[in-house]
Structure 1
Amino acid sequence: MSIMAPAAHRKLTGLVAATFTPLTNQGEINLSVIGPYIDYLTETQGVKSVFVNGTTGEGMSLSVEERKVLAEDWCLKGKGKLDQVIVHVGCTSLKDAQELARHAAQIGVDGISVIAPSFFKPQNAAELRSFLQEVAAAAPNVPFYYYHLPAFTGVNVTARDVLEGIETFIPSYRGVKFTGFDLTDMGQCVSCSRPDWVVLYGMDEQLLAGLVLGVDGAVGSTYNYVGRHMNELITAFENNNLIQARKIQFKLQELITFATKLGFNVGVNKRLMAELSGLHLGPPRLPLTPCAAVLAENLTEKFHSLFPSEQ
């Protein structure tokens, strides 16, 4: 079933788009959009790595089979165009997560990621590490990334504690996708990381703060449609042009703050991406509900007021 030949491990850096899952109006997976989606990311936004079946992709609302089909299609159509395809395989069921991890290895993904189970929750770092270890062992030769998202999982264990001695438990460990506001915890993850590990920040509105603390890259939903601007932010930071970097960061903060006051969730974000990219992404899957047309219009107008060159 190999679709992409396994490549030597490459350090995952820069922007990674957390991809939306295209659905038909009837709520079924719409693979016909994946090819144009990849072209939009790489050619318009300058983003060449993706994180598939995560929160933005409604992965926890998809069946195991649907997640496999999506992973395969992103790998197949991304070959030669995308630098890295990271697939989230986390589930509340250990067996399902292991099945997805084995499948990801078979199709040659560049990495797998796992979030903490959120119904029966691990009570401490040791329990969470044990769960992650069992999933990683199903694909021992695939780079492994822990997906830290306590606001959604309710697992309030610091990422730094999870990473304590993790290379002993998970030899394939290569990094953490840190999505949270605790900059102290994230900073400690950076501090304890080995040279071949990465810390990827998941709070788009605070990317600049993450760069100051030494993150290697970022995974986020907004990079689907503001990727080129955030690449400019990274370049400005690397050139010590903090005034320009802050200017770009403040614009994204204003957009997200505006959207949040209107009820910014994955469904709304998905509609905004569709409006800006022209891709038919379809509705979200229940329990998320479609974004109202007037809300989409307000968000689109706000976006263009902040990033007028996009019109």
Structure 2
Amino acid sequence: MKKLYSALMTAFNEDGSVNLDGVREMVRYNIDVNHIDGLYVGGSTGESFMLSTEEKKNIFKVAYEETAGKAHLIAQVGSLNLNEAKELAKYVTDLGYPMISAVTPFYYNFSFEQIKNYYNSILEGVDNKLIIYSIPALTGVALSLDQFAELFENPKIVGIKYTNADFYLLERVRNRFPDKLILSGFDEMLLPALALDVDGAIGSTFNLNAPRVKEEIAAFEAGDIKKARELQTLSNDYITDLLNNDLYPTIKLVFEKLGVHAGYCKEPMSKPTPEMEAGAQKIYEKYFKK
């Protein structure tokens, strides 16, 4: 069966400091309730691009300890600071993470040669496997088929977290690289990604919605496309409601209603408002209340 990864969130206290106990609770929920296949730690869902190196290390350590081998772990170590990315890659590898990931370097309109050097530099002296985190809508970096091929010349680069609405490119990548790991990154487009033979998916909404998504994957693999479509529609209704209520704070508010201390988001992300609280209550009652 194709693998499902939750993009792990970070719990913050109201003052913006990391709440490691809350991180532990979210890891446990994903393992004990969601029965998740894996966790993607340190990604954008974890608000990691607003964290210090030490905060990132603490989260990687807590996630590793709390998972205790019960789920596969991928550490997102990418950073505009290449030295930090290299330091984090070594740190998580020494901890025991079996795979790392790195977002394409963004903002400065880097050339492909610079991007290639970035990935190869992260992997120098690190005995680990890496998947490219490709998310063009947020980074402005849209890698081509031939550029993926050139990056794959490094044997340590084994796949892609593919968060891209270009499904023509996805088909071309899957066809050209049948042995590479491709994990879909758009929760709302999981079903068409499954049809293009991705190996699984990573997503923020799976923190709450994993059981329904695993049912969808099972239906797809059993050839019950009608049921899979119905489940994707239900998931997309849920995703729409989250987006309309402010995605990350709302997931954390619903977590709280499920007894998980997910805390706050880090500013400049939003603090909960009464309207947001009311919206989260409706989402909880509609999709998760037993």
If the length of structure 2 is used for normalisation, what is the TM-score? Answer: 0.93
Partner secondary structure for residue 39 of structure 2: strand
Match in the other structure for 1:165: 150
Post-superposition CA distance 1:190-225 (Å, at most 9, x none): 112242x21000110111110000000000011110
| Other-structure match for 2:250 | 268
- 279 and 138 in structure 1: CA distance in 2 versus 1, 3 angstrom threshold: farther
What is the aligned partner in structure 1 of residue 278 from structure 2?
A: 297
Match for 1:100 among 88, 94, 105? 88
Q: In structure 2, how many angstroms separate the alpha carbons of the residues matched to 1:286 and 1:265?
A: 14
Task: Return 5+ residue gaps in structure 1 as ranges.
Answer: 1-11
Query: CA-to-partner distance for each residue in 1:224-254, whole Å, 9 max, x for gaps?
Result: 1010110000000011011110111001111
Once residues 194 and 213 of structure 1 are traced to their aligned partners in structure 2, the CA distance between those partners, rounded to angstroms, is: 11
Give the match for residue 56 of structure 2: 67
- Give the unaligned 5+ runs of structure 2: none
Q: Does 1:91 find its partner at 2:74?
A: no
Determine helix, strand or coil for the equivalent of 2:46: coil
State the partner residue of 2:200.
217
The 3 A distance-change label for structure 1 pair 153 and 108 is same
Tell me the amino acid that sits aligned with residue 129 of structure 1. Answer: K
Match of 1:187 in 2: 171
Separation in structure 2 between the aligned mates of residue 73 and residue 248 of structure 1, nearest angstrom: 33
Q: Which residue of 1 aligns with 2:216?
A: 233
Which position in structure 1 is the counterpart of 2:123?
136
C-alpha root-mean-square deviation of aligned residues, in Å? 1.9
What fraction of aligned residue pairs are identical, expressed as a percent?
Answer: 26
Specify the alignment match of 2:226 in structure 1: 243
Give the Cα separation in 2 of the matches to 1:295 and 1:181: 29
Q: Which amino acid aligns with 2:181?
A: V
Q: Secondary structure at the match of 1:145?
A: strand
Aligned length in residues? 290
Letter in structure 2 aligned against 1:145: I
- Return the offset for 1:147: 0.1
Letter in 2 for 1:209: P
Q: Say whether 1:153 aligns with 2:135.
A: no
Letter in 1 for 2:244: K
State the Cα distance separating 1:294 from its structure 2 match: 2.3
Kindly state the Cα deviation for residue 123 of structure 1 after the two structures are TM-superposed: 3.2
Separation in 2 of the partners of 1:210 and 1:303? 27
In the alignment, which of 71, 80, 97 is matched to residue 69 of structure 2?
80
Cα distance between partner residues in 1 of 2:131 and 2:281 = 33
Q: Are 1:288 and 2:269 an aligned pair?
A: yes
Q: Distance in 1 between matches of 2:219 and 2:268?
A: 40
Checking the alignment, whether the CA contact within 8 Å between 1:15 and 1:49 is kept in structure 2 is yes
Q: What residue number does 2:10 align with?
A: 21
Q: Secondary structure of the equivalent of 1:157?
A: coil
* Corresponding residue number in structure 1 for 2:236: 253
Change (3 A) 1:294 1:281: same
Deviation, 1:280, is: 1.3
Provide the rounded CA distance (Å) in 2 between the counterparts of 1:35 and 1:302.
Answer: 24
State the Cα deviation string for residues 142-186 of structure 1 (Å, max 9, x = none): 11010001111122333x343113232x22112100112111112
